Structure 1
């Protein structure tokens, strides 16, 4: 990385062991080592977010550029993404896999605009530029977007329709739908409505 002329600067501590690996502090960041990912540096905003209590685990890759000022760094439990427009947000591994399957930052959801947070009954929720991912142990990770997401949140969300069971799908040639524990939301030709079971 360039030693003392690198973005980390001079060492400010000896290396010490931590649970599952080792770490050494520098003027402007840290280097972590683990048997899973090897040695990788943290600095700047990602280092600050990690230090302030995220359960992201150890870094398994170096920070990488995604273009247009965006950066990412992968950890054992998830990934941190930064863009100049939105800031820095953490995606846990479960939501991240579903997000990647829908194209990641270049897909329908775009970049995260919030951190992942706890949701009802052991679930998690995270908002993105183009939709919101909901995770539950029973139904996995489901993306709500557009008018269906708006109707779900407007109608009372979890308390009215329960947890999302499917992704959005085509009910017929003119109608989109998404199924929940207690009902279905439909969209067709600009009209949106829900039906409870």
Structure 2
């Protein structure tokens, strides 16, 4: 990484020079290059939430990037992702998954607030971490993350926290080894290569769970729940469907299939 403090060749250094920006006198000599630039000009240096550096720049164990630890978090850098801060519970959750050597890889954004303002999120090479005070920090990735993002697209096209809430588990392999799932505050998303990722919630989810989740005769969901006829809501699974009405509750029909629309 080129150091903006020493004037070494680099795009960042050139931009700083062109703008006539002078590196602050209090810049810590242990923090340089792209990490140093981000620390001083994006995160406000030692005056910001990261505080003072605790280490010099350290090469990551996988040799793909570098990081510096600070009082209030870390900054991680790689040539293809750039430099991004991590702090708090999202950083801790990412660390439990193996840091940059784990399934999520390096951060590709800084931490930000969710659209509702009730929690926080951060994107990584391999997925995202979501955090709220009542749910903790959990990973969502791949097709499950795409479904989570699109589950309310007909209403808001935002991430599905208003329908499913925040994740309360990271993506987990199903006990039968055929797929994966995330549990959320108000439902779940289940995925398998054969069926794709589909949300399950409410009374239909309760009935499906009661017959053994994906290990029961119904297997994995193959579509989202939808209104089939007036107030009759149905959801198709591999081995049948579950129908729900407010008056009768949820009822399981094994080995039967319904068209997408009634009549």
Of 196, 200, 210, the match for 1:140: 196
- Is structure 2 residue 71 aligned with structure 1 residue 27? yes
Query: TM-score, structure 2 length as denominator?
Result: 0.68
Please list every run of 5 or more consecutive structure 2 residues that lacks an aligned counterpart in the other structure: 1-42, 153-158, 256-263
Of 98, 122, 128, the match for 2:147: 98
Counting only pairs closer than 5 Å after superposition, residues 156-167 of structure 1 correspond to structure 2 as 156-158=212-214, 159-167=216-224
Measured against aligned partners, the alpha-carbon deviations of 1:117-149 in whole angstroms (never above 9, x if no partner) come to: 111334111111221100111111101111100
Q: Distance in 1 between matches of 2:207 and 2:80?
A: 43
Residue 126 of structure 2: aligned partner: 77
Residue 60 of structure 1: aligned partner: 108
Q: SS in structure 2 opposite 1:160?
A: coil
Residue 193 of structure 1: how far off its partner (Å):
0.7
Residue 116 of structure 1: aligned partner: 171
* Root-mean-square deviation (Å): 2.0
Residue 127 of structure 1: aligned partner: 183
Please list every run of 5 or more consecutive structure 1 residues that lacks an aligned counterpart in the other structure: none
Measured against aligned partners, the alpha-carbon deviations of 1:130-173 in whole angstroms (never above 9, x if no partner) come to: 21100111111101111100100012222221111111122222
Q: Is the 8 A contact 1:109 1:131 kept in 2?
A: yes
Superposed structure 1 runs of 4+ greater than 6 Å apart: none
Q: Is the 8 A contact 1:3 1:10 kept in 2?
A: no
- Is structure 2 residue 68 aligned with structure 1 residue 10? no
- Which structure has more RCO (C-alpha within 8 Å, separation ≥ 6)? 1
Query: TM-score, structure 1 length as denominator?
Result: 0.89
Q: SS in structure 1 opposite 2:94?
A: helix
Q: Is the 8 A contact 2:150 2:160 kept in 1?
A: no
Greater Cα radius of gyration, structure 1 or 2:
2
The alignment covers a number of residue pairs equal to 197
Residue 36 of structure 1: aligned partner: 80
Higher percent of residues as strand:
1
**Worse-matched range after superposition: 132-141 or 2-11:** 2-11
